[in-house]
Structure 1
Amino acid sequence: MSRRSSVIGVLLAAAVLLSACTQSSDESTNDESPKPPSRIELPPSAETGIADGDGMSIEPEIVPAEGLPASGDCMVLTDFRSVDCAEPHTMEVAAITELPGDLPRMRPEDDEMLRLTSVECAEPVADYVGSGDINATRLHPWTVWPSQDGWARDERWLVCGLAELGTDLVPTGRTGSVRDALVGEPFYDFQACLPDSPTEATELRYVPCDEPHRAEALPGVLPLPGRPNDPMPSAEEIEELAAPHCEQARAAYLGGAERDDIALSWRVPELADWRRGSNTVVCYVSTEEPVGELLLGIGDRPLPE
């Protein structure tokens, strides 16, 4: 075990993904999401070790800080401790990579670091879970980067991790690995279900999909064209892309034609989120009254109670 000499800064990338506007074919509302704690300060005495084996994803030119985990490691975030994934943990490491070399000598502020790390980790996180549909699930990126002291020592490592968010939008303890977790049917083990219609909610909350809920996020997240430094598409341009895409996603999910008792809506990023790298549209189906099971494949059958 190697003793860490500085505090590690941890930032929840879900704060970016959860702040968005919700739209439907006939209405739109601004949706201000609750802000999860954006930073966890770990004690200077926190210890961890570098795991051996073929899972290490650090490139040869990267000189990591002592105690960095490896891809596939599961972690307890309160003390940045690696544990067997069969044991309760709050984060799983998708990749260890390196931040761009042209960053300033003084570490950027947290908001800028969140933007940088969200962009850098988007592809490795999607590759790890096997799908770009992570924004339609309770899984969210959790990025870890050097402390101020580590940055001053030229540490530029980046941990791209994943956490499963609970109803309070903070990581919940879980067991088992999420590698390839969104490939095929396993997607529905992590699907995001909401207690309220996305067009009515004043804050985004999750509930288990086998408990009463009113909205279900659909597989088939739509990436919008452009990068964070490009102009964000207009509302009209987004609607032109989102409406037909979400209509197709609804038909595939429900297994039938449009129904009057199941509404369709979608969430789009706000400008601040766009600049941080959140550029996807998430489609939802929702009902007037809560249902106790998924609407997947319902066809023309009555709504479940």
Structure 2
Amino acid sequence: MEEMSTSKPEKPTTRSARTVSASVARRALALVAVGAVGAAAVTLLVTDGFDQPEKITTHSVAGPATTGPVSASSFGSADPGTCLQWTPTDDPETDRQDLAQVSCAEPHRFEVAKDVDMSAYPGIEFAPGSAYPGAMRFSQLRDEHCIDSVVDYLGTKFDPNGKFSVGLMFPSQTGWATGERTLRCGVQQSSNTGVPQEMTGSVLDQDQSSVWDVGTCIGINQNVPSDPVECSQPHAFEVASVIDLQQQFQVGIPNEADQDAYLEPTCTDAVNAYLGSDTALRDKTLTLFWSTIDVTSWLAGSRQVTCSIGKELDEGGFATITGSATGDILINGQPPVPPPAAPDGRALPTPLPGAAPITPGG
């Protein structure tokens, strides 16, 4: 059998974010990862304030695609809750050939929700000798059968904006020709381009918040975030902190404004601690941004958000950073140039619109 991994099939995964430079909120970013069978897209929503956002759509590398066949003896059978692991390869003839059941406490790439025997369905589409479905048809079958299967498996607590996505394993052409008609629905943790990542522990026991571990760097392709990479490799941004909103909002569902009001100082302090200096973010000309949780995700139990640092481009998207922000970095191949230091003397507050200019001693 083969596996086809996708982003959330019901709707695009949306991660809204507010940005600040140093401790001043000045930008809003929204990352929308749109997975498809043949391509993945990321929409950047950028604004100079918090009104009238401008949408800029760019495309990343090709998204999830079918891979080489997995033999029936390797694929075996799996009950709901079974976790599967394999070693990814670039060769479609060998990828997933070592597919095996493992304990969910061990690293794995797929958690089974349900096996669906399509031969039990009436009609000629799945009858013996029927034509092999194409990738788009398998995508439709995933939507038709796997979404409900995953929601039922998780007890309706599936976060469509979270870090887990609905996945499908389906027969290879060889398996289909020999009569294999089983579809395997499950849950996986996909990267921005839909590649299944290793995860540990059953999804049933996890917070599904769309977060990466602190210190993770997210790669870049054509100014768009891609998959996690070593921070020594070119990347779009780096995760500096993971914040549990439950500690602040213990009653009710916080709206975005309340989350922003809490996360601006919280993320600023966390990033300053991560970088080891209150001036490092400014000196390295980086942008701080954070994610928020919407009502649907909150009701599904998601509570965690990330504070991340990258370099926003004026034309949209991200600059290419090399090196961890905790040390020396290059931005688009050049070391950052710190802005001029503020002049000595007491800092003056910004006057309200229409107010008389503020003068020292006034």
User: When the two structures are superposed, what TM-score results if normalisation uses the length of structure 2?
Assistant: 0.45
1:90 and 2:90 correspond: no
| Paired letter, 1:13 | T
- Give the conservation status (yes or no) of the 8 Å contact 1:167–1:207: no
Q: Distance in 2 between matches of 1:150 and 1:81?
A: 18
- Give the conservation status (yes or no) of the 8 Å contact 1:88–1:174: yes
Matched with 1:202 is 224
Matched with 1:21 is 43
Q: Distance in 1 between matches of 2:111 and 2:147?
A: 15
1:133 and 2:162 correspond: no
SS class of match (1:179): helix
1:11 and 2:4 correspond: yes
The equivalent position to 2:149 in structure 1, one of 120, 124, 127, is 124
User: Tell me, which stretches of 5 or more residues in structure 1 are unaligned?
Assistant: 1-7, 49-66, 220-247, 267-282, 293-305
Residue by residue over 1:161-218, the C-alpha shift from the partner in whole angstroms, topping out at 9 and shown as x without a partner, is 222235875223333211253xxxx234x5369968x9x943444589xx934999xx
Residue by residue over 1:93-139, the C-alpha shift from the partner in whole angstroms, topping out at 9 and shown as x without a partner, is 122224454462212211221232134212222343453424332x2
The equivalences for 1:250-265 within 5 A come to 250-251=256-257, 253-254=259-260
Q: Distance in 2 between matches of 1:33 and 1:205?
A: 10
Q: Paired residues, what number?
A: 214
- Give the conservation status (yes or no) of the 8 Å contact 2:3–2:170: yes
1:69 and 2:78 correspond: yes
- Give the conservation status (yes or no) of the 8 Å contact 1:263–1:286: yes
Matched with 1:224 is none
The equivalent position to 2:168 in structure 1, one of 119, 143, 147, is 143
Matched with 1:106 is 131
Matched with 1:296 is none
SS class of match (1:19): strand
The equivalences for 1:1-305 within 5 A come to 8-14=1-7, 15-16=35-36, 18-23=40-45, 25-36=52-63, 38-44=65-71, 46-47=73-74, 67-77=76-86, 78=96, 79-99=98-118, 101-102=122-123, 104=125, 105-129=130-154, 130-137=156-163, 139-165=164-190, 170-181=195-206, 186-188=207-209, 190-191=210-211, 201-206=223-228, 212-213=238-239, 249-251=255-257, 253-254=259-260
Q: Distance in 2 between matches of 1:201 and 1:151?
A: 40
Shift in Å, 1:10: 1.7
Greater Rg over alpha carbons, structure: 2
Q: 1:13 to 1:101 in 2, by over 3 A?
A: farther
- Give the conservation status (yes or no) of the 8 Å contact 2:2–2:66: yes
Relative to its length, the structure with more strand (as a share) is: 2
Identity fraction in percent: 22
Using CA pairs under 8 Å that are at least 6 residues apart, name the structure with larger relative contact order, 1 or 2: 1
SS class of match (1:124): helix
Q: 1:252 to 1:119 in 2, by over 3 A?
A: farther
User: When the two structures are superposed, what TM-score results if normalisation uses the length of structure 1?
Assistant: 0.52
SS class of match (1:212): strand
Q: Distance in 1 between matches of 2:58 and 2:261?
A: 29
Q: Distance in 2 between matches of 1:30 and 1:215?
A: 27
